[in-house]
């Protein structure tokens, strides 16, 4: 099985940088996803990490360390529209392949 | 337009009355999956399917059934709904190539069981 931990809530200021952490304990690992979910809407894909290191995509970056069971999502130049929940999800391997386990999400509030 | 379509979007029903939530995708994706989302518990996977006639249990399959007779459709069946199945349900699909495993979600179906 998978156990995924991320902070419940965070607050940051418009224009600032925020880092949302995700730790996981898994029986197998194929990759880690980050999704964004605005209130009342469906999740939308942000990033997918398979190998260790940093993946940058515009204002958003995602980092993975498989040996530490750790990932973070970095949001730069925060905008009000970034207020949303951010979901970390792990894909299992072997018998758990294609089974995706989500963390409970981190609700980010961006304030002026 | 590439999309995942769920119906109904909202439903109020009573305990024990069988219902089906339909899910259809027009992107020719192999992989489809159902999730439920509850406050404080996050998204939990109910069932998933890697291809036609191939389905497997997720983390919370009890009380649900699925079928995958066609590639584009993946209905979720509640044979005898109970109040603890009141939730927000999402269907999702993905091409699931090694380099492109993004999940595309439907808009969600809010189900209330009285």
Task: Write the pLDDT tens digit of every residue in A44-76.
Answer: 999 999 999 999 999 999 999 999 999 999 999
For an interface test with B, the pick among A42, A57, A62, A84 (most B C-beta atoms closer than 10 Å) comes out as A42
Write down the pLDDT at residue A92: 80
**pLDDT-based confidence at B2, cuts 50/70/90?**
confident
| Closest residue, chain B, to A92 (C-alpha) | B58
> Which residues does residue A14 pair with via DSSP β-bridges, in sequence order?
none
CB contact under 8 A, A99 and B45: yes
Residues 6 or more apart in contact with residue B78 via CB below 8 angstroms: B18, B19, B20, B21, B63, B64, B65, B85, B111
For an interface test with A, the pick among B33, B35, B101, B106 (most A C-beta atoms closer than 10 Å) comes out as B101
Span A5-18, mean pLDDT? 97
Task: Write the pLDDT tens digit of every residue in B38-62.
Answer: 998 989 999 999 889 999 998 899 9
B103 to chain A: which residues are within 8 Å by CB? 33, 35, 43, 45, 100
Assigned token pair, B80: 């005898």
């Amino acid at each position: 099985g998978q156990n995924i931990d991320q902070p419940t809530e965070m607050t940051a200021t418009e224009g600032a940088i925020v880092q949302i952490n995700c730790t996981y304990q898994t029986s197998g690992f194929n990759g880690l996803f980050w999704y964004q979910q605005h209130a009342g809407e469906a999740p939308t894909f942000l990033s997918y990490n398979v190998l260790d290191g940093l993946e940058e995509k515009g204002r958003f970056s995602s980092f993975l360390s498989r040996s530490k069971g750790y990932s973070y999502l970095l949001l730069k130049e925060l905008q009000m529209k970034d207020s949303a929940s951010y979901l970390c999800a792990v894909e299992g391997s072997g018998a758990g392949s294609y089974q995706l386990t989500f963390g409970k999400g981190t609700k980010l509030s961006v304030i002026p | 337009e590439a999309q995942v379509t769920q119906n109904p979007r909202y439903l109020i029903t009573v305990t024990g009355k069988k219902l089906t939530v339909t899910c259809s995708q027009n992107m020719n994706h192999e992989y489809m999956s159902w999730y439920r989302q509850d406050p404080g518990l996050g998204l939990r996977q109910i069932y998933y399917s890697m291809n036609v006639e191939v389905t497997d249990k997720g983390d919370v399959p009890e009380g649900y059934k699925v079928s995958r007779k066609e590639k584009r459709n993946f209905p979720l069946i509640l044979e005898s709904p109970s109040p603890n199945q009141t939730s927000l349900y999402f269907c999702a699909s993905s091409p699931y190539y090694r380099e492109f495993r993004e999940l595309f979600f439907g808009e969600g179906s809010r189900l209330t069981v009285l």
